[in-house]
Structure 1
Amino acid sequence: MTDTTQTNQHHKTELPTAWPGELKALLALGIPMALTQLAQFSIYTIDILMIGRLGPTELAAAALGTVVYFLLWMLGFGPVMAVSPLVSQALGADVADRDNVRISVRMALWTIVFMSPFMLVLVILTEPMAVLAGQDPAQSAKAGAYVLALAAGWPFALGTMVLRNFLAALGKTRIPLVLVLLSVALNAGLNALLIFGMFGFPEWGLVGAGIASSISYMVGFFLFVIYINWDKKSAPFLLFKNLFTPHWQRLREVVRLGWPISLTTVFEGMLFNACLLLVGLIGIIEIAAYQIALNVVALAFMLPWGLSMAGAIRVGLAKGAGNPMAVKRAGILTVITSVIGIMLFAVPIALMPETIAGLYMDAAKPDNVLVITLVASFLPIAAAFMFFDAVQVAANQILRGLKDVRWPMVATGISYWVIGFPAAAYLAFATPLGAKGVWYGLLLGLLSASILLSYRFWRLAWGVR
């Protein structure tokens, strides 16, 4: 069987010929994508809030398990994000190129399936690895059980992102947002049933939270499958036709694009975890303050992340259409809108750090005063590095839209691990800055990444043919 379902006529995607038109197209894609990312992030947030009611022991075990789960997520992130440039460039070159699009999506899903056994091995090793790292055996056992329950939903969560990226390339972002919100609501309801044993359900505690998340990921995936087969714009792609037919050349291309994206994601994600370890060497109060400040940053980051993912699609469409001016226009607007988006959060964070810190902890309790004071001292630095974070994520994503993934991998590796982490360690322990030095180190790493990645896009965009 073959994937051929179309004629030989080729029609390039029509692109805006002026800046306002491109800005409108970018925002129409980017804002729903940002809201979808925020909704996806809230599944984890809801889990933590509800697990917290079980007590500090379970919350600590969940935090330990989450480190492993996010590593799995980052490793699988590459094939997911490889779909964006493959599909957008194919549609840019020929808006009716359904075969090419279908093969790319299919092979991305295949890659996730191939990775699953290796991910399962890492999950099974969670408990012994945690014990070897000096963690409490009882905590390690709880963390291992939690990750095992959570990991069952891993392929479905990544598969959903593949389908979301396909739909985004078609300009379909609003219904996917609704579907993700339904998954979030389902997760919250299942948490209540399976964590606390409401309405006669088993009281599984921490493991129940993992099972609830996995079920919500599975249901979310199949909601997307149903929607794609029903929607009049996506259904003609027959996305799941010949699902079990290999296309080895495209599989190699997905892997070729995917592994540098995964490593780039690991470089950044592990930097923040490594800095948490640095802060942990300073004190427990500093850890709590670091986590709160990092959560503020993560929430604010969703807007530029969504806009930059939309930018990758817009750049990919322009590149596929062979339109150098449209590539430049889409790339520049992605950086500008991402920076404006983050500034909407960074400015109030810088001006009202005590108020924002007080949202997380009760300032009336004496034990919380020192934590709130520390958070308030971290947030102005975080607000400064958010500017560079927005620039680097925008530049990174638009480079992906051009299928340029290896150079950014090297640039981020150098920025975060040759510059950022050593600077954070030095400033934290060799100067009076203490934990604030860690944030200055992060700022330097992100500054470096933003410069290197922006320079790379400038060089490539002005050389697009």
Structure 2
Amino acid sequence: MKPTQSIQQKMRQFFVILLPIFVTQITLSAMTFFDTNMSGHSSSIDLAGVAIGSSLWVPIQVGLSGILMGITPIISQLIGSGHKDKVAYNVIQALWLSLLLALGVLALGGALLPSILHAMKLESNVQYIAFHFLTWLSIGIIPLFGYTVLRSLIDALGQTRISMIITLISLPINVGLNYLLIYGNFGFPKLGGIGAGVASGITYWCIFIIALLFVHKRQPFASLGIFRTFHKLSPRTWKEQLKIGIPIGWNQ
């Protein structure tokens, strides 16, 4: 973080950090927009199925991502108080927590999704698209939640431009995969709205891997040695992170 003295410097630094965060949030929302819009060009059934699937997924994604973003103030406080050596431990615990939440979503989704869609009294073909859109999207839930933790680390160090760049990269990846998998271009299978789910799942893996490489190899993250030591699960640390994260997720 760049030290500031005057009000003008503080405001300038505020907007330097804020604007990339704003762009990042808009980009994440744009993925859902393109999934729905491009599916609509396939058929009205695909449009309806993806729209239903997105309406179920987005609140869960936003809420749980907000909980995981609770690691941001923890990291900032550790660095500000001179306890840089404790950052890696807390980030690894947040990654363990993200894995637990992702597995919970997958388990509950597998158990409840058919009943939820059935209760919505959808046409059978729309229900089929919605179910398989979410099923394929779910392959990316674990990396998406992991990316949220790594993005929070990046933002906590004031490097919001990097998280913006990574998230911006996700958009052409997602749109390109949609083009191939929804419409069946260049020899790829024509999956309609289901293809949007496959594309999103793959995109989540891509941005997680990119963020992982940044955190592992690029300064100032590399000096933190996030993955240098293996840390066992610590429910006590999770509890501390949840105390901060749950109010954030609740208000998303």
Q: CA deviation at 1:206?
A: 1.3
Q: Kindly indicate whether residue 179 of structure 2 is the aligned counterpart of residue 195 of structure 1.
A: no
Corresponding letter in the other structure for 1:178: I
Change (3 A) 1:249 1:88: same
Q: Name 1:7's counterpart in structure 2.
A: none
Q: Kindly indicate whether residue 118 of structure 2 is the aligned counterpart of residue 119 of structure 1.
A: no
Change (3 A) 1:262 1:175: closer
* Long gaps (5+) in structure 2: none
Q: Name 1:226's counterpart in structure 2.
A: 213
Q: Name 2:89's counterpart in structure 1.
A: 103
Q: CA deviation at 1:258?
A: 2.3
Taking the aligned partners of 1:138 and 1:244, their CA distance within structure 2 comes to 46
Alpha carbons 2:102, 2:145 under 8 Å: kept: no
Corresponding letter in the other structure for 2:70: A
Q: Name 1:34's counterpart in structure 2.
A: 22
Q: Name 1:211's counterpart in structure 2.
A: 198
Q: CA deviation at 1:221?
A: 0.5
Equivalences for residues 238-249 of structure 1 within 5 A:
238-249=225-236
Q: Kindly indicate whether residue 84 of structure 2 is the aligned counterpart of residue 58 of structure 1.
A: no
Equivalences for residues 32-431 of structure 1 within 5 A:
32-94=20-82, 97-124=83-110, 125-265=112-252
**1:145-190 deviation line (CA, Å, top 9, x unaligned):** 1111112212222221221121112121223322222221111111
Q: Which has the higher contact order (CA 8 A, sep 6+)?
A: 2
Q: CA deviation at 1:109?
A: 1.2
Normalised to the residue count of structure 2, the TM-score between the two structures is 0.91
Tell me the C-alpha RMSD between the 2 structures.
1.9
Taking the aligned partners of 2:91 and 2:149, their CA distance within structure 1 comes to 7
- Structure number with greater Rg is 1
**1:362-411 deviation line (CA, Å, top 9, x unaligned):** xxxxxxxxxxxxxxxxxxxxxxxxxxxxxxxxxxxxxxxxxxxxxxxxxx
Alpha carbons 1:123, 1:144 under 8 Å: kept: no
Q: CA deviation at 1:119?
A: 0.7
* Long gaps (5+) in structure 1: 1-12, 266-465
Alpha carbons 1:78, 1:257 under 8 Å: kept: no
How many equivalent pairs are there?
251
Q: CA deviation at 1:252?
A: 1.6
Q: CA deviation at 1:80?
A: 1.8
Corresponding letter in the other structure for 2:84: R
Alpha carbons 1:195, 1:209 under 8 Å: kept: yes
Residue 152 of structure 1 aligns to a residue whose secondary structure is: helix
**1:99-140 deviation line (CA, Å, top 9, x unaligned):** 322122211111111122321133222232121233333322
Q: CA deviation at 1:219?
A: 0.9
Percent identity over paired residues: 27
Corresponding letter in the other structure for 2:219: K
Corresponding letter in the other structure for 2:104: F
Q: CA deviation at 1:209?
A: 0.8
Q: CA deviation at 1:49?
A: 1.7
Taking the aligned partners of 1:173 and 1:14, their CA distance within structure 2 comes to 13
Alpha carbons 1:79, 1:112 under 8 Å: kept: no
Alpha carbons 1:80, 1:258 under 8 Å: kept: yes
Residue 153 of structure 1 aligns to a residue whose secondary structure is: helix
Normalised to the residue count of structure 1, the TM-score between the two structures is 0.51
Q: CA deviation at 1:243?
A: 4.1
Q: Name 1:436's counterpart in structure 2.
A: none
Q: CA deviation at 1:244?
A: 4.4
**1:179-238 deviation line (CA, Å, top 9, x unaligned):** 222221111111111111111111111111111111111011010111112212110001
Residue 219 of structure 2 aligns to a residue whose secondary structure is: coil
Taking the aligned partners of 2:198 and 2:134, their CA distance within structure 1 comes to 10
